[in-house]
Amino acid sequence: MNPLREVQIRAFSKEYKVQIHSDFRGLGETIKRFYPVSSIFILTERKLSGLFSKFYETEIASLGIPYHEIYIKGGEKNKHITQTAETYNRLIELGADRKSLILALGGGVVGDYAGFIASTFQRGVRFAQIPTTLLASVDSSVGGKVAVNADLGKNMIGSFYQPEFVYLPLIALSTLPKREWRCGMAEIVKHGLLSGGEYLEKVRSNDKNVYDHTSSELLELIIGSILYKASIVSQDERETGLRKVLNLGHTTAHAIESLTNYRKYSHGEAVAIGLLTAIILSTEKQGLDPAWIEDLKKILNAYDLPYKDKSKSGQVAKHTLHDKKNVGNSVRFVLLQSPGNPIWDIPIELDEIASAFKKQKKDL
Ligand code: GLY
């Protein structure tokens, strides 16, 4: 079964394709292109296996090579270095070798975790991303960032390790709760602001069909996001400069997530709030047209995403210092000169962050 669409990723370390399919028919054919494969290991959550194995198992079984599922616990707190020993042991017990292929089937947590396992098991075995959430489809499955958490920091142990391919089965999105859709939409809005132009207009139009996994409107949003990410990753795979723009909105988002103990907001919701902080700062520091403040609020509202939070602005500002991007008492932000023209590593003082955050929660 041919993919609906394909995007070529040209990273410095590897070139590969993101294939968008309606469903799992086509997975077997795709895997065959990477032969010889001695065995296949599907790293996923038990609940995802329950939902999708009836679709992917026939594809994989038809290849006639040994395959196994290894369940990993979902949730950011389980994407932890202490979990990895159990997974490595399972791989060894089940006979994984250097010609095995790992399939990371799930959302961002599974992709990061399984990718990290693949990058380290026997000094690196091949793996593929099969994203089942919108966020993973438009962001985390593409670009090769893989990592696990340490007690004292998120994504502290990891590497850049590109998959052999990304297989995106749109049918998986049909099972997503509304909140998960919103989470992905926040990253799509981020890519819209970063790329500007026609893609931003598509994002802004918020056609109601974007919540339908079979719609051409959703497909266009996904493709646009992946194309944007592909262009960035092809220029700066290891985030020495340009790739930092993908962190637009994330500095404040991480502060809010940590202040609210990762309970109040999903990652995407926190990013939505962070995007508005970045836009307010951009109007103050980079001459972005102030009309974008109301425009962004409208876009976020239309996608049912929050743009303000009750946390004390001083506290939020202080928490941004925990971000890896800070220097001294200022924090490095990604800002926009205009949509489509991001700029990174802009030092912002804590009181400027606090004042921007205060402005955005004015109409609470
Ligand atoms: N999610 C940001 C990046 O891949 O660089």
**Tens digits of per-residue pLDDT, 270-298?**
999 999 999 999 999 999 999 999 999 99
Q: For residue 146, how far is its CA from the centre of ligand 1 (angstroms)? A: 10
Does ligand 1 have an atom closer than 6 angstroms to the CB of 146?
no
**According to the annotation, is 319 in a ligand binding site?**
no
Query: How does pLDDT run across 193-220, given as a tens digit for each residue?
Result: 999 999 999 999 977 888 899 999 999 9
What are the CB-based long-range contacts (under 8 Å, 24+) for 345-354? Answer: 345/244, 346/285, 346/286, 348/281, 348/285, 350/317, 350/318, 350/320, 350/321, 351/317, 352/281, 352/284, 352/285, 353/252, 353/277, 353/281, 353/313, 353/316, 353/317, 353/320, 354/313, 354/314, 354/316, 354/317
pLDDT of residue 327: 62
Q: What domains lie within the chain, and their CATH numbers?
A: 5-175 (3.40.50.1970), 178-360 (1.20.1090.10)
pLDDT at 329 over 90: no
> Helix crossing, 81-93 with 108-120: angle to 10°?
60
Does ligand 1 have an atom closer than 6 angstroms to the CB of 250?
no
Q: For residue 112, how far is its CA from the centre of ligand 1 (angstroms)? A: 11
pLDDT at 244 over 60: yes
Annotation says 229 is catalytic: yes
Q: For residue 72, how far is its CA from the centre of ligand 1 (angstroms)? A: 23
With contact defined as beta carbons under 8 Å apart, do 104 and 114 qualify? yes
For residues 114-135, average pLDDT: 98
Annotation says 123 is catalytic: yes
Query: How does pLDDT run across 8-53, given as a tens digit for each residue?
Result: 999 999 999 999 999 999 999 999 999 999 999 999 999 999 999 9
For ligand 1, atom 2: residue with the closest CA: 246
Does ligand 1 have an atom closer than 6 angstroms to the CB of 243?
yes
Q: Which of 123, 178, 310, 362 is catalytic?
A: 123
Q: Which of 21, 59, 79, 145 is catalytic?
A: 145
Specify which residues 7 forms β-bridges with.
Answer: 18
Characterize the bridge pairing of strands 5-10 and 326-327. Answer: unpaired
Annotation says 319 is catalytic: no
Token pair belonging to 41 = 């290991």
Annotation says 57 is catalytic: no
Cα gap 24→8, rounded to integer Å: 20
Give this prediction's pTM. Answer: 0.95
**According to the annotation, is 112 in a ligand binding site?**
yes
Query: How does pLDDT run across 334-362, given as a tens digit for each residue?
Result: 999 999 999 999 999 999 999 999 999 87
Does ligand 1 have an atom closer than 6 angstroms to the CB of 145?
yes
Does ligand 1 have an atom closer than 6 angstroms to the CB of 187?
no
Q: What is the DSSP letter of 7?
A: E
Specify which residues 60 forms β-bridges with.
Answer: none
pLDDT of residue 33: 97
pLDDT of residue 302: 93
Question: Number of C-alpha atoms within 13 angstroms, CB side, residue 75?
Answer: 8
Annotation says 29 is catalytic: no
Does ligand 1 have an atom closer than 6 angstroms to the CB of 107?
no
Q: What angle do CA 331, 344, 76 make, to 5 degrees?
A: 65
Nearest atom, ligand 1, residue 232 CA: 5
Nearest atom, ligand 1, residue 142 CA: 4
**According to the annotation, is 69 in a ligand binding site?**
no
Residue in 229, 244, 271, 324 to alter for ligand 1 test, most ligand atoms within 8 A of Cβ:
229
Q: Which residue has the tokens 């998959």?
A: 163
Q: What are phi and psi for residue 174, nearest 5 degrees?
A: -65, -15
pLDDT at 104 over 70: yes
